Structure 1
Amino acid sequence: MIAPEKTAEIVGGPKMVGVEVRSGFDLARAVRRGLPVGAAQHVLDSGRLTPAEMDKVVLPRRTLANRRKIGTLTAEQSDRLIRAARLLAHAEETFGSTEKAGLWLRRPTKALGGERPLDLLDTEEGAREVEVLLGRIGHGIAA
């Protein structure tokens, strides 16, 4: 299981989340409140997701542009962003670098039915499958 602090760092850390993240409860409260639009922008600026990937996994560009006027994401959009951030953090921890994690996330994988792990992050069940596979890889179990 990935530490909530690492997930928070992917979206810009405590300053962006609005609280010091010490537990999953802290993240849950921030998600319910709605993360700042800057959290999604931080993920884009870091290169962890491309605009097209953000479109598919978190929210469409047009919606993101509209949310900029409001300043915050909805709870549902925030939840999708945190789900993606958690899996990005897990992949980075498993593979030891942002670059290696990015390569793995974008390559079709037999263990996921030939799909790219990143493409499965748009649903909770898909994200769980990716998380299970990352756990297996991290423990040295053939994937």
Structure 2
Amino acid sequence: MATYAVPEVLGGDILLGRSLAKSGALADLVRDGLPVKALLLLAERLDLRQSEIAESIGIPLRTLTRRMASDARLTSAESDRTVRLAQVYATAVETLGDGNKAAAWLKTPNRALRGQRPLDQLDTDPGVREVEDILGRIAYGVYS
């Protein structure tokens, strides 16, 4: 649903260094590793500190700082988690209508998630599906 917005959330073709118009281009980019600047842009969109974004994708802060200094790329696993976070953010923006509202919603404890923040659920595939399910219910006006 919001898959087409993911490249823009991560900085678009210019920041990512290639056109992602072709099918499978995003998967190839994830395998090659995203530029660390894409992660920093996502952190800015989510209004997260570097330590928070590092924790969300499972990278030590010192490693992130070192990669930022050398303008290095993320590993494929880190890139995959970054894209997963970008996809959920893009879906939240589409559902809630605004980037600031989406960022706030992702950082606010939610009853449907047993009082936990949606952002904290994005470290596993089942957690991502649960957050996406809640966003789908919001989009269709289904309350639980």
TM-score w.r.t. structure 1 length? 0.89
Output the CA distance in 2 between the equivalents of 1:50 and 1:112. 23
| Cα pair distance change 1:117/1:23, threshold 3 Å | farther
Output the CA distance in 2 between the equivalents of 1:62 and 1:51. 10
Match of 1:66 in 2: 66
Output the CA distance in 2 between the equivalents of 1:23 and 1:99. 30
Shift of 1:23: 5.6
Q: Which moved more, 1:42-51 or 1:68-77?
A: 42-51
Output the CA distance in 1 between the equivalents of 2:45 and 2:108. 20
Output the CA distance in 1 between the equivalents of 2:50 and 2:67. 15
User: Would you say the 8 A contact 2:45–2:103 is kept in 1?
Assistant: no
Shift of 1:55: 2.2
Two-structure CA RMSD over aligned residues (Å): 1.8
Task: Give the letter for the 1:20 counterpart.
Answer: S
Map Cα deviations across residues 77-122 of structure 1 (whole Å, 9 max, x no partner).
1011111111111111110001111221111111112111011112
User: Would you say the 8 A contact 1:17–1:35 is kept in 2?
Assistant: yes
Task: Give the letter for the 2:13 counterpart.
Answer: P
Task: Give the letter for the 1:3 counterpart.
Answer: T
Shift of 1:75: 0.4
| Cα pair distance change 1:18/1:57, threshold 3 Å | same
Task: Give the letter for the 2:28 counterpart.
Answer: R
User: Would you say the 8 A contact 1:11–1:40 is kept in 2?
Assistant: yes
Match of 2:85 in 1: 84
Match of 1:55 in 2: 54
Gapped regions of structure 2 (runs ≥ 5): none
Output the CA distance in 2 between the equivalents of 1:19 and 1:39. 13
Match of 1:131 in 2: 132
TM-score w.r.t. structure 2 length? 0.88
